[in-house]
Structure 1
Amino acid sequence: MTDQSHSTAPLSVQQAATRNAPLARPRAGRGVLGLTRRDATLMLVVTVLVVFAPFILNPFPETSALAQFNAGYPDLMQRFVIFGIFAIGFNILFGLTGYLSFGHAAFLGVGSYAAIWSMKLITLNVIPGILFAIIVAGLFSLVVGFISLRRSGIYFSILTLAFAQMSYALAYSVLTPITGGETGLQIKNTDTPLFGGPESGIGRANLFGAEMGNSTELELGNWLFTFNLGYYIAGAALLLAFYLSIRIFRSPFGIMLRAVKSNQQRMNYTGLMPKRYTLSAFVISGMFAGLAGGLMVAMDTQVGPERMFWTASGEVVIMTILGGAGTLLGPVLGAGFIKYMENIISKINKDILHQWFAFLPDGMEDVMVAVVYPFIGKGWHLTLGIMFMLVVIFLPGGLVEGGQRIAAKFRRNKTQD
């Protein structure tokens, strides 16, 4: 008889897992919505920031000389959250798998065109438009990803860039009946969607009749706070995108994406198919970009091919790296930082600088204005470039790593005390 207890037959995966079960590490406890306590706290922080953004972004009174640094107006707050969604989606691909795409603006543009055509043909309600944007961008990213992921490294990046530039060229000059060419598309009073339509002039997106531009103002002393419907709809989409990002990062799927970034060759040896995981991540990332594109149309029903230009793809790369690639909060921070500089720092001119340095003697005042002006106003890109270099050199983990270092220093000082 054969002694079964000493059999050398190989174990199946299930048997090996059963045999090693007592040694397995216990899973972290899950709380509300399947989040750990730490992730739930982070989700709560982001929710508070989104809900109270009109207050947080308007710290200075309207009559103050520093009021020009306030960013709590609807258009800019919408840009914060929409590009935050765009960067969150890009981070799922680049931050987890390490695949650097230079063509993600193509999915942003395709999503925008899908949303505008939904509003021109079906309804001005934003919900179908956003859904169409996500679906069409996902299908387009499936095609682009299936071809581009046949290569890796710089070749993958060049392929995605080529697809984005081809998409831009098609939208700009070839597919003008569909894209509107250089002038773009907008909702006109001649459009006849199936369910309702613009009564006169340019049509505006709405949510069951409530236009995205509807706002309520609250005046408290010298402060003026604006609460915009479009912003809160985009903010709700950001919270949903951030929650999905957390679940992806913490899931077995997210672990497999990290494995792709770590060692694809080892994955192949174990019988896993890394291309399936990277393609899935690419499509999910493209759908996030489509969501951002659909929201852009919901806020401003004007779509042009410039959204697909290579500079838009480069911008989301900078956002992600600046905030912290591979982190949950980093892409949102990077998007907010760049959009703040683009819309606030870029508006500071020489007259404002003269007001700032008016307390100095005339000659010294002119010198300070001459020194500072190249870094603001139209030169805000120079400041951004310098900060980007400093972050890459000294904070490879982005702004999130900087915050972690500061927090660690405070904890260390507190422990010593």
Structure 2
Amino acid sequence: SVLTPITNGETGLRVLQSDPRILDTGGASDGPLLANLFGIEMTGWGGFYFCAVILLIGFFVAQRIFRSPFGIMLRAVKTNQNRMIYTGLNPRPYTLAAFVISGMYAGLAGALLCITDPLAGAERMQWTASGEVVLMTILGGAGTLLGPVFGAALIKYFENIFSAFNEQTLHEIFSFLPDFLEVPVVAVSSLFVGEGWHLTLGVLFMLIVIFLPGGIMEGFARIGRLFRRSASKAEPSRATAPAE
């Protein structure tokens, strides 16, 4: 490209083999750059465990913030900023601090993605990449800590499992059906798997928004209340004896 001498590559994102190395080994002359940390390769299981440790540390820090007086103020600002203003408190410093903290977590996630996946495709710049984060939060439960974790696991499960299904796999799954039923069932099911896994995710998103506005965490809370109610009904009622 004629812009290569100016931008150091067509997109300006090219990394040369002669560039200084800090967290990567440089890779082969014709292969991708492989990141490593103290000799531990960050691709594959090594990167998975490293990201898992960072996830636990980040979750612990978020939990400490959530349960602190500062976290209570953040929840109050989230509930109703006008009431906070009427009580004489300025919510702007708290909203600014929440924005900075969220930016720190987003930057950490981006850094982990860079070292675990050295290939940056154009799909990472699409609006759906940001929309996935919103879907994860809504599906799991906004305002909770575990909710987005469950939402991310659910979306990534659909992306990696449902998107791998094809017509051959569906024929193997529904092989127990007669031929006159197997063909239409596979034809309909193929719309929701493979390249159409977004359709399944959309249907699931609609069901959760309609029946569980609080996300998966609200469903867990309802199940917990149901079990506690059934347990309280199962306990024999103790009649109080009159005092003598």
Q: Do residues 177 (structure 1) and 4 (structure 2) align?
A: no
- Structure with more contact order per residue of length (Cα contacts < 8 Å, sep ≥ 6): 1
Matching residue within 2, 10, 18 for 1:190:
18
Letter in 2 for 1:271: G
From the superposition, tell whether residues 194 and 266 of structure 1 become closer, same or farther in structure 2 (CA, over 3 Å).
closer
- Report the CA distance shift for 1:272/1:308 in structure 2 as closer, same or farther (over 3 A): farther
Distance in 2 (CA, whole Å) between partners of 1:301 and 1:281 is 30
CA distance in 2, matches of 1:396, 1:409: 18
* 2:52 aligned with 1:235: yes
Q: Which amino acid aligns with 1:204?
A: L
CA distance in 2, matches of 1:369, 1:352: 9
Letter in 2 for 1:203: L
Q: Which residue of the partner structure matches residue 271 of structure 1? A: 88
Instruction: Find 2:36's aligned residue among 181, 202, 206.
Output: 206
Aligned to 2:65, what secondary structure does the other structure show? helix
Q: Which amino acid aligns with 1:325?
A: A
Q: TM-score, normalised by structure 1?
A: 0.51
Amino acid at match of 2:28: S
Aligned AA (2:43): G
Greater CA drift, 382-391 or 261-270: 261-270
Q: Secondary structure at the match of 2:28?
A: coil
Q: CA deviation at 1:186?
A: 5.7
Q: 1:274 to 1:305 in 2, by over 3 A?
A: farther
Residues 106-141 of structure 1: CA deviation (Å, up to 9, x unaligned): xxxxxxxxxxxxxxxxxxxxxxxxxxxxxxxxxxxx
Which segment drifts farther, 356-365 or 401-410?
A: 401-410
Q: Percent of pairs identical after alignment?
A: 57
How far apart, in 1, do the equivalents of 2:230 and 2:97 lie?
Answer: 45
Normalised to the residue count of structure 2, the TM-score between the two structures is 0.85
| Aligned pairs, number | 228
- For 1:178 and 1:272, the matched residues in 2 are separated by 50
Kindly report which structure 2 residues correspond to 1:119-268, keeping only aligned pairs within 5 A, or say none: 177=7, 181=11, 185=13, 187-193=15-21, 197-198=25-26, 200-201=28-29, 202-213=32-43, 228-268=45-85
Return the letter of the residue paired with 2:209.
V
Aligned-residue offset at 1:370? 1.6
How far off is 1:267 after superposition? 2.0
Closer/same/farther in 2, CA of residues 361 and 213 from structure 1, 3 Å limit = same
| Separation (CA, whole Å) in 2 of partners of 1:376 and 1:194 | 42
Offset, 1:301: 1.8
- Output the CA distance in 2 between the equivalents of 1:260 and 1:179: 46
Kept in 1, the 8 Å contact 2:23–2:35? The answer is no
SS of 1:200 mapped into structure 2: coil
Matched residue of 1:320: which SS?
helix
CA distance in 1, matches of 2:34, 2:23: 14
Residue equivalent to 2:114: 297
Cα deviation, residue 356, structure 1? 1.0
Counterpart-to-counterpart distance in 1, 2:130 and 2:110: 13
Cα shift at 1:212: 1.5
Report the aligned-residue RMSD: 2.4
Structure 1 segments unaligned to the other structure (5+ residues): 1-172, 215-227
Offset, 1:305: 5.4
Residue among 105, 126, 129 paired with 1:312:
129
Contact 2:43/2:117 (CA < 8 Å) preserved in 1? no
The residue correspondences of 1:1-400 to structure 2 (distance < 5 A) are 177=7, 181=11, 185=13, 187-193=15-21, 197-198=25-26, 200-201=28-29, 202-213=32-43, 228-304=45-121, 306-400=123-217
> Which has more helix, going by share of residues?
1
